[in-house]
Amino acid sequence: MAIETELSKADALRAYARMMHHLSVDYLAPMLADDFHYASQWVIEEITSKQQYLDYMRPKLEAIKESGNRVWAELGELQTYPGGPCLVVAQGERNNISATVLVEVMGSKIKRLDMCFVPSPQSACRTGEYPE
């Protein structure tokens, strides 16, 4: 019997960053729980399944690829609520910061991702790590 290893928030965020840097869901999809949830503070409706999220992200990543507007996803750390690891996301230019990505994990799976403007990405301590 295989023992499931615990997925850290930082490693889950690194997988998301790789997805954004390579513009492919293949880096993140295997880690998503079937009942995965995704919310964005810019979008009203929450996504409530892995398949729904993948169907949402594939054309979004394709549009980014076609635009030529590179995404930068840098590992960070929030000192204020909710605290802990996060991603600081920029598009076009490395310092054109626009969003914070937060993650919840359970066991070896990602249960939830949140794309936020609160907490502010400018409030995160940036690490300089851009997972490839």
The residues with which 49 forms a beta bridge, in sequence order, are none
For 60-108, how does the pLDDT look when each residue is reduced to its tens digit (9 = 90+)? 999 999 999 999 999 999 998 889 999 999 999 999 999 999 999 999 9
Q: Which CATH number covers residue 98?
A: 3.10.450.50
Structural domain tally of the chain? 1
Bond into 30 cis (ω within 30): no
Q: Is residue 60 part of a domain?
A: yes
Those residues with Cβ within 8 angstroms of residue 107's Cβ, 6 or more apart along the chain or in another chain = 4, 6, 7
Q: Is residue 4 part of a domain?
A: no
What is the pTM (predicted TM-score) of this model?
Answer: 0.94
pLDDT confidence tier of residue 5, bands split at 50, 70 and 90: confident
Q: Is residue 1 part of a domain?
A: no
- As a whole number, mean pLDDT of residues 40-44 equals 94
Q: Is residue 2 part of a domain?
A: no
Q: Which helix (H) or strand (E) holds 79?
A: none
Range of the domain at 64: 9-126
Q: Is residue 116 part of a domain?
A: yes
Q: Is residue 132 part of a domain?
A: no
